[in-house]
Structure 1
Amino acid sequence: MFYPFLVSDPRSGLRFRPNDKLLSELALAPAELEWLPGKAIARIVEPVWADSLANAPVETIAAVSSALANLVVATPNLRLPNLEAMPEGRARRHLLALAGIWRELGEALPQGLGAVRHALELSHGRFLSALPVVEGSLDPVAPAAMRALYYRLKSEFGTVPNQEGSRLAAPGTRLHAVQGGLTEATIEVGKRDGSISFYGLRDPNACANFAAARARMMIEAGEPANSIAVMTTGNTRLLERAFAHQGVPLSGLPGQLPKRDVLGETALFLLLAKRSPTPSMVLASLALSPVMPWDPQIGRDLAESLAGGDYRGTALRDTPAHVALWDDIRASASSLSQLRFLIDRICSQLSQGQALRELIAIPQVEGTPDWDGLLRAISVGPHAIGDPVRNLEGVSIWNASESPWRPCSHLIVVDFTEGAYPSRPRPNPLFLDSEVVAVREATGLTLFGRAEGLAASLSLFDQQIQAAAQSVTFLVPRRDLAGSRQAASAGMSLMARVFDGSPDASDLIVDLSTVPPEQWPISHHQPPPPSTTSSPLGALDLSGRDLLALRLDENGVAKPQSPSRLETLLVSPFAWLLEELGVRDLSWASEGLDVIIKGNIAHDVFENLFVPGDAFPDATSMPETLQTIFDRALGRHAGFLRGSAWEMERRGLESDILQAALRWREHLVNLGAKIVGNEIWLAGTAHGVSLRGKADAILCMPDGSLLVVDHKKSGTAGRRKRMEAGWDLQAGLYRDMIARPTRSEGDGMDPLVGRRVGIGYHLMNDGGLLTSGFLPVASSTARDMGELINEGAVAKLGERLGELKLGRIVLNTTDDEAFFKKEAGFTPYALTDGLLLVRAFVQQAVAEE
């Protein structure tokens, strides 16, 4: 809880802001009851927000909880107020609804307010020690409860004089003018001086480095560290790192890192895991939960495999009990009894299982779970941050949402961006601004609306500016840490008025990227520029290594290459090397419907819709048949698409696949083809390399020849362009495996060997069928692309394989992407969408003389 006034230590005379711990100890306050408004809001049927709760439970609970906390601190005694004077109407209904939730929560109060109420009701003489307040330190827009506490302490312990005036800066300076009239209609105008300055930097990290360097420069010039303050709106980790690097001590860092509500999060994820479909990120979060019994590294391995689409839990296979627990976590529940059974069995195997089970309220009845109601009842607390640890000697850290805890000579604002200084006012989630006024007039309760919020934020910004005696430096990060652009704070316009000519606010910012380093207002150093005389790397020399034997099977034999791996080698040998070494991107992202998932689902549907040996599905009954197969494919590849939030995408994908299936059926009928097999494993040799891969479909033509088909979830134009350019590769490798097979017992290749083989690409998006080595009949819409579809690709692949034999990994150049797109007719995804590491090693192309 933030206390908007200062108190004084009777022994040392030190002025500081009180905190929950101090007040609880001096007032001997009992332990606070847990404040869980979310459960009460979900449990009580309240017409005021019932519809909103049904449609947006998380947002509604947050809004009502915020409004309730606002009402609580608006009462001077932190007790339920008398609302009888409130006239009938919308505002009265909303107030009574909030009062009903408060009444349901009993004696519980938001964190920190329990000690405040205890202190307000404590008899004089019962405090363990005196706690006088600093005269005039009470924030003028402080809520009623905090004002009451200030006057309660003042009535018993009195006040000490405020040693600082409201205008600390020297008269005549621009800072002095701002301190006297930041929000006044008229303000003293003068020339720019060093008391107020604005600097633009790239991002918050650069701002933190600048602040630390500027503080160090001041200290080296003789300024005491405790006369400098740094103000920020958010995380202090960047400041902590930057100041530690400069060797400058800080005062006001949090006593502990933010702590998550681990039990609350785990309870929420467990319920989400029981509702089908379960997002993979939910399972990954459970794998990483500290509540789980397995080693943290095993949890990380499990989470990484889940993020990659592997749900088997192989990381747990060495401990059967953990495998059984994981099976229970993954299992969905279709009834309340099944849900209770699974949750009870899971919690019984966890170290904090009893406390976790108490957070999950499952009705003791039979029936289908009300998932929305169950999830609403789970309350996940915010990250708990320790109270700031303050000392007398370090540079002060001020929080932008709090008034200064001690004055300073020099203030550095490190994130002077839009939405802060002053903070953007927010409307009351339950009351219109006119209703806020009506509530105040009828009951005396000052709820916060937009006007009150703006007044409070302006007053706070004014207090922060007034606490600096010599200078204020505003740093404007042009981008956030994600690279998005940021605008300067609206407070720029308020301060631009004190300068002659009323310049445009943006003109006041000095962009350091345009200023020579020797003119920077801080000491600096720059790393030497990279040498321009070194020649391009060109290639990695790995001679002495058999690069085609980096992956070995259990017998120590080199694993065969797949057509897709050779396609990667064709585009980028370095990307191929990383793939052979198992280097992959481990970044996490929420589930989404990308091209790969669409392709996997479409292939699955085609495999189970067009079954070898069965008659082709009838066109009229295909929609019904496909619907069942499509749903099973979703379960195998993208369970999240079964959720209601993905209904539009799911229906669109199902419709696309249905149209593709109808067109594929038409091709099969017109060609008179029979399906030999789907997803058939082939093995053989080509270009001196062992190959193994899975063919999407193999068709038998009426003349006995075979057509190896590769289904592509793309359009015809791009594939036709590549085949015309002579840079096709993948399907031809399947034909090579049939022509030069590597046989094994039960490989199923007997019906394939010795036949004439053609290849084809079925482009699902528009139904095109492009072939080579096979001349379609006149009744078919398939198009023969001739025999010269892979000349360029085969030549380049031979060159790449020759380089591998010499142990050379040739690196890509900046010309390669354009070559593949323009000359070869395809997008080199290994370069455009592959690992960032691959793009980092792209060499500058050398211009031909």
Structure 2
Amino acid sequence: MRIDPLLTRSPATGALRPITEDLLAEVYLAPRVAQLCLVDHLGAGAPWSDSFAASPEETARAVEAGLLAVAHAAPMLDPAEIVTDTLPDGRARNHLDALRALWRDIGTLPDPLNTWRHVLQSKAADALEPLPTADPDCSFATPAEASLARTLRTHHGDADALPPPPLAAEGTALRNLQDRIGRHSDQFAPDPSVACHGLRDPREEAEFAAALAQSLLDTGRVDHPGEIGLLAPDGPAYDLPLQDAFDRVGLPLSGLPTEPAQRDQAGELLSLLLVLLKGPAPRTALASLYITPGMPWPAATGRRMARELIDRGWSRLATEQTGAARELLNAMRPCDTPEQLFARLGFIARAVPGADLHPRVAMLKAATGNEIDWPLLHRLAAPTAVAANGHDRFVEGVSLFSEGALPWRPVRQLIVAGMAGRHWPRPPGSDPFFTEGEIAMIRDTGLMLEGRKQKLARGLELFRRQLCAATEGLNLLVPAMDLRGDHLTPSTGLALIAHMLGTDEPADLVRDIRSARPEDWPVATTRPDPVPMGGAPALPKDGLIHIQRGLGTPDRPGIDLLRLRETKDGPLPHSPSRLETLLVSPLGWLLDELGAKELAWAPETLDVMTLGTLMHQVLEEVFPEGTEIPDDATRAARVPKALNSAIRLHARWLIDVAWATERASLLREARDICAAWAGFLRHTGAEVLHNEIALKGEHGGLLLHGKADCLLKLPGGRILVVDHKRSSAGGRRDRMAKGWDLQVALYRAMLERPSEETPLTRLVAEGAQVVTAYHMLRDGTVLSDAGGADVPRVETTGADAAENAMDHLAQVLAEVGAGTVRLNREGDAKAFEKERGIKAYALENPLVAAFTLPGGSYEEDSE
């Protein structure tokens, strides 16, 4: 491709302007062609047929790139110029013949090549106005570009040549780089005209570039901002940081896009709608719809609905919507036919007029047959970023130069950012069709395809020409890492510069800003005072935080930590799981009470809670209350139906074909669990009285609530309260044996001191003996305390499985009730597991970890 732009000078005014595709089309009345789409032309019989069958869109893009490369190598843009007779039989010849046949088949090329071919086939008299060219020769022009320049010169003649740009003074290091980089060169001594600064990442580069520009002005090295140039890589890593940094120092950037890059919001919304209408969709997809701009509900309402959905799996506020919002949410149901799909898409497009969905929906409808091809629709609807357009150039600002073009005006001082990674020059990519050896053979036939060598030479020459924009000084900025934190290697250009300046390694040339004294920096700087203790909080040595709850007044009472979750009807009750958190970490419990937790968005996963919920539901449906234990045949028929029902109720996303393996595994697990439970029920002679029974009561003045998974009536009238746990017995057995199982005692407390009457509490009040137990689903073990010692197939673990837990709970409740919160220590997690048999999940909270004291566990310190 050309480096020098093709320019024309007006015979009347002498003004220069680039010869663009639009200008050529207007002057020569060139017909415009539709966008090239090769998918319909890539049939069987071509070398790429197998790839096309497997991946049509990607193959079509690769074939288009190969076709354009071959077309650029044909001087007159005619497929007849591709002659393969002298090529040996093999891969190169087969692919080149196929590309020539494809070119003849489609009969056209995308613009600007189609416009160029029209000009090449025109006469001088066909032009509506003269286009005399200035400096038409470019040693890096493709054959097609060179032919276009010669044709225009023949039609319109030459204009006055452009004067050469001013360069740095002879003998300076900068001038040596401008003359010799990318060419054979001896080494030369460095001098102040070239400086190389090491920064952390592109954001710090942007801040430094803005500060350096301001420093150049303050020290008088330039007279105004227009004498400073900034050469930066293209892309979002530099675009926004540079603009923000220069705005902060009050320097305008000249050369920013007139229209910045835009998101394809219509494509994003349509892709999201296809995910929802295909179903089952992850909750993050529906939450994303809730917060999409333009929906028929306020933005604040959308954010609240999304938060509720992510936290609980459903949104109460969403169910309360009315009118257009209700109708739109009702339309978010899976579709089975094209008629359903496009009827709902059409309704949504009308309900959200600002999204401009109608043209995109019409495109999808035109590509759909009698059945819905979801992968095709997703490819067609995929959002594509709207590239930045135009250049806002003015005299007074710092000149911003783009990576792939020549600087548009000379400057005194040039700052080059991004001298690491894949920049200056960008490494040429591999050809999608031909190896470098095949390209060399094709070039021998006269078809001058570009290979990696030619592309690299062009990139180096472009970089040399970009450095020629500076007349006095060059500042190279080298980032150590990208914005993701990945370390970067020096660019090819930096390696060449380092070699020319006599250093062995590029790192020897780079002066790391952070390793230099602030007074030696090329820009003014101030460093903030170091944060005490490296940012770690100042924690009390005894590990106790005292919250002064007694400072209140009769009108405004102090804080009661045990009543933080209080409504107008009184404090909310505590669950056993919340109090288990209190045993492990009072701070973790307090944060939970305050709702101070990470609010991350994540799709549904087959985690322990989901698995437990599914298996609970299966057990309820296979063993309904008040019925006989099903025989083997009945159970085998019920389990698949019960699992499907549980999945549709609690985890609809598992219906997707991508989860087929997991569903098969769940079915095997459900069969094993139900078989083991049926054996237990038969062996004990138990009768299922209730499933999912709520428990409410109090302990030590603290309101409690919980839910028993299953209520069994044993022979003799005893009641077995069962809690299903989807784990094996090892960890729970250890906890109960050591007396640290809190849930058993809290269930007993709610039964003995109920705050609400239930069938179970009536049985207890009438004198029924109650035994609490765990059913461990992974291995079928049923664990109980001493009360279940004589129940068949029930394993007891000690006289009192909750003795230590209840004692410690009383101590912690007293502390918390008095406003004292005990912090954890680094050794607590291991100590809890070893001494108590408790997995300290509460300590995984990042805030709890941030306020953890060093040293061993609290028990060890107390000793």
TM-score (norm 2): 0.81
How much has 1:237 moved relative to structure 2?
A: 0.8
User: Is 1:359 aligned to residue 363 of structure 2?
Assistant: yes
CA distance in 2, matches of 1:149, 1:14: 21
CA drift at 1:333: 1.6
Give the secondary-structure state (helix, strand or coil) at the position aligned to 1:560. coil
Taking the aligned partners of 1:758 and 1:42, their CA distance within structure 2 comes to 73
The 3 A distance-change label for structure 1 pair 119 and 845 is farther
Number of the residue aligned with 2:424: 421
1:427-826 alignment, distance < 5 Å: 427-436=430-439, 444=447, 446=449, 450-500=452-502, 503-531=504-532, 535-536=538-539, 539=545, 541=547, 543=549, 544-553=558-567, 556-590=569-603, 592-616=605-629, 625-743=638-756, 750-751=762-763, 754-775=767-788, 780=793, 783-807=795-819, 816-817=828-829, 819-820=831-832, 823-826=835-838
Q: Which amino acid aligns with 1:830?
A: A
Q: Is the 8 A contact 2:84 2:97 kept in 1?
A: no
Deviation of residue 764 (structure 1)? 4.0
Give the distance between the partners of 1:275 and 1:107, measured in 2 at CA: 38
Shifted more, 225-234 versus 724-733: the winner is 724-733
Assess, with a 3 A threshold, how the Cα gap between structure 1 residues 845 and 170 changes in structure 2: closer, same or farther. farther
Q: Which residue of 2 aligns with 1:346?
A: 348
| Corresponding residue number in structure 1 for 2:243 | 240
Aligned residues of 1:134 and 1:162 also touching (Cα < 8 A): no
Q: Give the 3 Å change call, closer, same or farther, for CA 535–91 of structure 1 in structure 2.
A: closer
8 Å Cα contact 1:233-1:420 kept in structure 2: no
Amino acid at match of 1:498: M
Conserved in 2, the CA contact under 8 Å of 1:716 and 1:763?
yes
Aligned ranges for residues 148-159 of structure 1 at < 5 Å? 156=156, 158-159=159-160
1:223 equivalent to 2:227? Answer no
User: Cα deviation per residue 1:266-286 (whole Å; 9 max; x = unaligned)?
Assistant: 333333333233343443444
Aligned letter for 2:386?
H
1:222, distance to aligned residue in structure 2 (A): 1.6
Aligned 8 A contact 1:273 1:331 in 2: yes
1:250 aligns with 2:253: yes
State how far apart, in whole Å, the 1-side matches of 2:265 and 2:213 are.
Answer: 38
Looking at structure 2, the residues matched to 659 and 736 of structure 1 have their Cα atoms a distance apart, in angstroms, of 33
Distance in 2 of aligned mates of 1:470 and 1:567: 71
Quick check: 1:171 aligned with 2:184? Answer: no
Deviation, 1:424, is 3.5
Q: 1:316 and 1:396 mapped to 2: Cα distance?
A: 55
2:267 counterpart residue number: 264
3-state SS, counterpart of residue 388 of structure 1: coil
Q: Would the alpha carbon gap of residues 146 and 135 (structure 1) be closer, same or farther in structure 2, given more than 3 Å must change?
A: closer
Q: Give me the whole-angstrom Cα distance separating, in 2, the residues matched to 1:510 and 1:723.
A: 63
The SS at the match of 1:418 is: coil
Q: What does 1:272-311 correspond to in 2, within 5 Å? A: 272-290=275-293, 292-308=295-311, 310-311=313-314
Structure 2 gaps, min length 5:
550-557
Q: Given residue 802 of structure 1, which amino acid in structure 2 is its aligned partner?
A: A
CA distance in 2, matches of 1:9, 1:730: 88
From the CA coordinates, give the structure whose radius of gyration is larger: 2
Secondary structure of the residue that 2:624 maps to in structure 1?
coil
CA RMSD in angstroms comes to 4.6
Q: Is the 8 A contact 2:215 2:522 kept in 1?
A: no
User: Is the 2:182–2:457 contact (alpha carbons within 8 Å) kept by the matching residues of 1?
Assistant: no
Contact 1:2–1:19, Cα closer than 8 Å, also in 2: no
Number of aligned residues: 830
Could you tell me which amino acid in structure 2 is paired with residue 683 of structure 1? K
2:554 is matched with none
Q: 1:493 to 1:347 in 2, by over 3 A?
A: same
Distance 1:649 1:517, change over 3 A: farther
| AA matched with 1:805 | G
The AA in structure 1 aligned to 2:559 is: R
SS at match of 1:228: strand
Aligned residue for 2:709, secondary structure, equals strand
Match for 1:798: what amino acid? A
Tell me, what secondary structure is at the counterpart of 1:253? coil
1:681 to 1:469, Cα distance in 2 relative to 1, 3 A: farther
Of the structure 1 ranges 219-228 and 86-95, higher mean CA displacement relative to structure 2 is found in: 86-95
Q: 1:495 to 1:353 in 2, by over 3 A?
A: closer
User: Aligned partners of 1:650 and 1:265: how far apart in 2?
Assistant: 31
Deviations 1:465-485 (A, max 9, x none): 454445544444344333444
Flag the 1:145–1:481 CA change in 2: closer, same or farther, 3 A.
same
Offset, 1:51: 4.8
Which secondary structure state, in structure 2, belongs to the residue aligned with residue 269 of structure 1?
A: helix
Give, in angstroms, the shift of residue 525 of structure 1: 1.1
Unaligned runs of 5+ residues in structure 1 are: none
Distance in structure 2 (CA, Å) of the matches to 1:426 and 1:818: 52
Of 237-246 and 342-351, more deviation after overlay is shown by 342-351
Amino acid at match of 2:204: A
Q: Please report how far the alpha carbon of residue 682 of structure 1 lies from its aligned counterpart in structure 2 after TM superposition.
A: 1.8
- 2:402 corresponds to which of 399, 403, 409: 399
1:388 is aligned to 391
Aligned mate of 1:375, from 378, 383, 398: 378
Deviation at 1:211, TM superposition (A): 2.4
Aligned partner (choices 840, 846, 849) of residue 828 of structure 1? 840
State the distance in 2 between where 1:103 and 1:311 align: 57
Relative to structure 1, the CA distance from residue 183 to residue 335 in structure 2 (aligned partners, 3 Å threshold; closer, same or farther) is same
SS in 2 for 1:678: strand
Instruction: Give the Cα separation in 2 of the matches to 1:19 and 1:596.
Output: 62
Instruction: State the alpha-carbon separation in 1 of the partners of residues 316 and 44 from structure 2.
Output: 44
User: Deviation at 1:171?
Assistant: 2.6
* Pair 825,273 (structure 1): closer, same or farther in 2 beyond 3 Å: same
Structure 1 residues 562, 57: CA separation in 2 closer, same or farther (over 3 Å shift)? farther
Residue 197 of structure 1 and its aligned partner are, at CA, apart by: 4.7
Cα separation, 2, equivalents of 1:246 and 1:92: 59
Aligned-pair CA distance for 1:599: 3.7
Residue aligning to 2:329: 326
In 2, are the aligned partners of 1:336 and 1:363 still within 8 Å (CA)? no
Whether contact under 8 Å (2:82, 2:447) holds in the other structure is no
Report the Cα distance in structure 2 between the residues aligned to 1:760 and 1:18, rounded to whole angstroms. Answer: 85
Q: Report the CA distance shift for 1:671/1:104 in structure 2 as closer, same or farther (over 3 A).
A: farther
CA distance in 1, matches of 2:774, 2:39: 57
For residues 223 and 305 of structure 1, do their structure 2 counterparts lie closer, same or farther at Cα, with a shift above 3 Å needed? farther
**Per-residue CA distance 1:695-734 (angstroms, 9 max, x = gap):** 3334444454444444344444444444455443345433
Distance 1:45 1:275, change over 3 A: farther
Farther off after superposition, 304-313 or 421-430? 304-313
TM-score (norm 1): 0.82
Mapped to 1, the partners of 2:192 and 2:448 lie a distance apart of: 44
| Deviation of 1:663 (Å) | 4.6
- Separation of aligned partners in 2, 1:590 and 1:169: 61
Contact 1:17 1:405 in 2 (8 A): no
Cα pair 1:415 1:476 within 8 Å, conserved: yes
Decide whether aligned partners of structure 1 residues 89 and 28 sit closer, same or farther in structure 2, where only a CA change above 3 A counts. Answer: same
Within 2, Cα distance between the matches of 1:86 and 1:803? Answer: 90
